[in-house]
Structure 1
Amino acid sequence: MSVSSFVTYLSLEKKYAENTVVAYHADLQEFALFCSENFKQAVIDKVDYTVVRSWIVELVNLKHSNRTINRKISSLKAYYKFLQKIGEIEISPLLKHKSLKTPKKIEIPFSEDEMNKILFEIPFPENFEGVRDKLIVELLYATGIRRVELVNLRLSNLDVDQGLIKVLGKRNKERVLPLLGSLKKLFALYLQERRGVEGSEKIDFVFLSKKGDKIYETLVYRVVNHYLGLVSSKVKKSPHILRHTFATHLLNKGADLNSVKELLGHASLASTQVYTHNSIAELKKVHLLSHPRNKK
């Protein structure tokens, strides 16, 4: 009963995305199955840390990565925190648990030259799909919005004349973002092309497939991956890398970290600080080239 209440809590009160709720639920079901098969304890509310530790050992033996194991344990942590909140338990069995060490994940952003090649040198088809795809790439890079935010962008949240878009982020948190002049022109061109798509007048979502349906996240990934692949051999060529590139380029140009945090829709500065390592590298380069002591 507590698990179903927890799932409802995540959906309705915490307003987590559906995929996140499904992942949490799956982790709890997996742990419950492990308990019932190995400890004869089908009720996961009553376990102690020795049971959790045994599950971690099994996950390691099953060759799960430390990152995956930490994610699963995070689901348990959230569940036991919920049980404390509703008074079912006093102390979480994971109170003194320490996460497994994971290698630092360094994502390499695209350079300004690479982005300029995509936006000014690579030819996009002069039709609905070509205009749409160029808008997708430029919007992701120029605003740093998430892929899901782009997919769910509505016409009612778009003001081309004022150069503003309203984005619905994580946990239904709204933020308003400015549009560059080039984006305003591209939006105007796209909306003109969009009118020619059959059934488009019935859909409030901005981005459509050529069949007139709302686009989906996989399509956005394919578009971005294709065009980034034309200018670079980097392994990661995803919408998230464009978000990473957006943040890095702003910070390299001297943007305030708090401002970048607001533009990205992060809840805390800690999330934004992962983008600063590239800025520090850029500052080191400028320092080496500019400081008079380096010339001696």
Structure 2
Amino acid sequence: MATLTSTAAEHFGQEIGSFRRYLRAENKSDNTTRIYTDAAERFANWLASESDDDVVEWGQVRRKHIQEWIIYLGEQGKADGYRNNWFRSIQQFWRWWAEEFEEPNPIAGLKPPHVPENLGALLKDCEGKCFIQRRDKAILYVFMDSGIRRGELVALRVEDLDLDQRETGSSGRGDGCGPSRSAGRAPAS
């Protein structure tokens, strides 16, 4: 978890604290709250120390700053998937911020960094007829086709699966009833 530098805390800390309270009030999991606020703290630290512009409040952030941060992460050797995760996490902060302060959302319309699919070898390892191979292939397809979260997948029960409709209904989000998601190719596995 990132710790705000003194400069970042002075300029950006109050809003990050408000964002954390918002996430808790929305009953987001501790892990989700940690990830989203960590992204905001990392971005604030970058703004305070690495940005070429003198940004001292959230309202001064523009699309270019978010793009420059994502580029910076790549220049630091961070993988596409890593940068994609941070983009999606900071996106949640900006959605909240724009609504909370009735300001334009600087991340609106930006796309996350592309993550090329490199699943061929993994799927190839799952080819076969034994139970473990078929199970692992089904798990991968559920992840790929539904966008289900890890915790939701772990919480799935047999009765949550609708093989005819190729959907999963998960109870893993903490509120007892997750969304129905397309399981796509998984039932065929």
The alignment status of 1:47 with 2:61, answered yes or no, reads: yes
Q: Is the 8 A contact 1:32 1:42 kept in 2?
A: no
User: Displacement of 1:52 after TM fit?
Assistant: 1.0
Aligned residue pairs total 149
Provide the rounded CA distance (Å) in 2 between the counterparts of 1:94 and 1:32.
Answer: 15
**Deviation string, structure 1 residues 21-44 (Cα, Å, up to 9, x no partner):** 112111111111111122332423
Rate the CA distance shift 1:77–1:263 in 2: closer, same or farther, 3 A. Answer: closer
Deviations 1:194-233 (CA, angstroms, capped at 9, x unpaired):
xxxxxxxxxxxxxxxxxxxxxxxxxxxxxxxxxxxxxxxx
Q: Distance in 2 between matches of 1:71 and 1:23?
A: 9
Q: How many Å separate the matches in 2 of 1:40 and 1:261?
A: 48
Distance 2:28 2:128 in 1: 33
Choose the corresponding residue for 1:93, options 86, 103, 106: 106
Question: In structure 2, how many angstroms separate the alpha carbons of the residues matched to 1:147 and 1:83?
Answer: 27
Distance verdict in 2 for CA 1:69–1:112, change over 3 Å: same
Give distance in 2, aligned partners of 1:101 and 1:55: 15
The one of 157, 161, 184 aligned to 1:276: 184
2:29 alignment partner, one of 5, 8, 17? 17
In structure 2, what is the equivalent of residue 69 of structure 1? Answer: 83
Deviation at residue 66 of structure 1 after TM alignment: 1.7
Q: Structure 1 residues 110, 42: closer, same or farther in 2, change over 3 A?
A: farther
The residue that corresponds to 1:36 in the other structure is 48
Two-structure CA RMSD over aligned residues (Å): 3.4
* Contact 1:261-1:268 within 8 A present in 2 as well: yes
Partner AA of 1:114 in structure 2: F
Matches of 2:86 and 2:47, distance apart in 1: 15
Could you state the TM-score of these two structures normalised by the residue count of structure 2?
A: 0.63
Q: Which residue of 2 aligns with 1:82?
A: 96
1:256 maps to which residue?
165
1:16: how far off? 1.3
Q: 1:22 to 1:7 in 2, by over 3 A?
A: same
Question: CA offset at residue 113 of structure 1?
Answer: 3.7
Q: TM-score, normalised by structure 1?
A: 0.42
CA separation in 1, counterparts of 2:150 and 2:83? 26
Partners of 1:6 and 1:24 in 2: CA distance: 9
Counterpart CA distance in 2 for 1:147 and 1:58 is 28
Report the Cα distance in structure 2 between the residues aligned to 1:103 and 1:93, rounded to whole angstroms: 25
- Aligned equivalents of 1:4, 1:43: Cα separation in 2: 14
Report the Cα offset of residue 17 of structure 1: 1.3
Show structure 1 runs of 5+ residues with no match: 116-145, 149-168, 170-238, 283-296
Q: Which of the numbers 62, 65, 70 marks the counterpart of 1:56? A: 70
1:146-295, aligned counterparts within 5 Å?
254-258=163-167, 260-262=168-170, 267-269=178-180, 272-273=181-182, 275-280=183-188, 282=189
| 1:255 Cα deviation after fit | 3.9
Q: Which has the larger radius of gyration?
A: 1
The DSSP-based 3-state class of the residue aligned with 2:114 is coil
2: CA distance, partners of 1:71 / 1:40: 26
Cα 1:79–1:262 shift into 2, 3 Å: closer
C-alpha separation between the residues in 2 aligned to 1:92 and 1:33?
A: 20
- Counterpart residue type for residue 35 of structure 1: L
Q: 3-state SS of the aligned residue for 1:93?
A: coil
Identical aligned pairs, as a percentage?
15
2:131 to 111, 114, 139: 114
